[in-house]
């Protein structure tokens, strides 16, 4: 018998389809399905958060001030939106924005 790994997409997909479930009531099954959808969305948003921060950092390391400023201006609304959804703590978002802004302004 094959034992499903918790991390595999196929395992999560089987849970989503209702083939594998620990829930007994229909409400609990629905909540399990919703949790899978939310987790997938949150993972994507977290990835987007990190990507926008990396774009600013790469522009700073390349020494291109104009690119760094445009990347920072694009990153700030994304950071605020993800913070507003509760995926990142407000203090962490503020810290990232502050440090990125300081690095962009310090460029010659």
Percent of the chain with pLDDT over 70: 87
**What domains can be seen in the chain, in order of their start residue?**
9-105 (1.20.58.110)
Given this model, what pLDDT does residue 5 score? 56
Residue 9 has pLDDT above 80, yes or no: no
Pick from 5-9, 10-14, 49-53 the range whose average pLDDT is largest: 49-53
Contact 31, 40 (CB under 8 A): no
* Cα separation, 92 vs 60, whole angstroms: 20
Higher pLDDT, 41 or 11: 41
Give the mean model confidence (pLDDT) for residues 68-92: 97
Q: Cβ–Cβ contacts within 10 Å for residue 96, how many?
A: 19
Give the mean model confidence (pLDDT) for residues 54-71: 96
Mean model confidence pLDDT for the chain: 88
CA distance readout (Å), 23 to 18, 53, 55: 10, 39, 42
């Amino acid at each position: 018998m094959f034992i499903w790994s918790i991390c595999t997409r196929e395992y999560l997909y089987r849970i989503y389809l209702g083939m594998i479930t620990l829930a007994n009531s229909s409400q609990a099954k629905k909540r399990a399905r919703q949790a899978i959808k939310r987790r997938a969305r949150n993972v994507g948003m977290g990835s987007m958060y990190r990507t926008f921060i990396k774009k600013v950092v790469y522009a700073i390391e390349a020494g291109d001030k104009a690119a760094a400023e445009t990347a920072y201006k694009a990153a700030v609304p994304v950071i605020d939106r993800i913070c507003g959804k509760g995926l990142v703590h407000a203090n962490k978002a503020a810290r990232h924005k502050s440090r990125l802004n300081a690095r962009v302004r310090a460029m010659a």
